[in-house]
Amino acid sequence: MSSSKPTKFERDIELVKLFLSEYKDAEGNSYHISARPDKTERTAKAIEALAVDEHGHSLAVEHTMVEAFEGKKADDIPFFVVFEQLGSDSSLVLPNRLVDIQCPALAIPKGLDWKDIRQKVTEWFNEIRNDLPADGYGEYAIPDLGFELKVHVETINLPDTSGAVIASRVLPEGKPFIDVLRRALANKVPKLVETRADRHILLLEDEGAGIGFYKVIHGLDSSMKETPRLKEVDEVWVVKTMSWQTSGTLFFYYVWPDGVKNRFRVLDGRFAKKDEFKPRESVD
Asked if the structure places residue 165 within a domain, the reply is yes
pLDDT tier, 277 (very low <50, low <70, confident <90, very high otherwise) = very low
pLDDT at residue 1 greater than cutoff 50:
no
Domain range for 124? 72-170
Contact 102, 169 (CB under 8 A): yes
What's the rounded mean pLDDT across residues 199-221?
Answer: 86
* Neighbour-count burial of 52, counting CB atoms closer than 10 A to its CB (0-12 exposed, 13-18 middle, 19+ buried): middle
User: pLDDT tens for residues 53-77?
Assistant: 999 999 999 999 876 565 677 888 8
Q: Reply yes or no on whether the pLDDT at 280 is more than 50.
A: no
Is the residue at 260 inside a domain? no
Q: Is residue 33 part of a domain?
A: no
Cβ proximity of 83 and 121 under 8 Å: yes
Q: Does position 25 have pLDDT exceeding 90, yes or no?
A: yes
Q: Could you say which DSSP state residue 155 is in?
A: E
3: in domain? no
Q: How many domains does the chain have?
A: 1
Give domain status of residue 123, yes or no.
yes
Q: Specify whether the CB–CB gap between 155 and 133 falls below 8 A.
A: yes
The reported pLDDT for the residue numbered 75 is 86
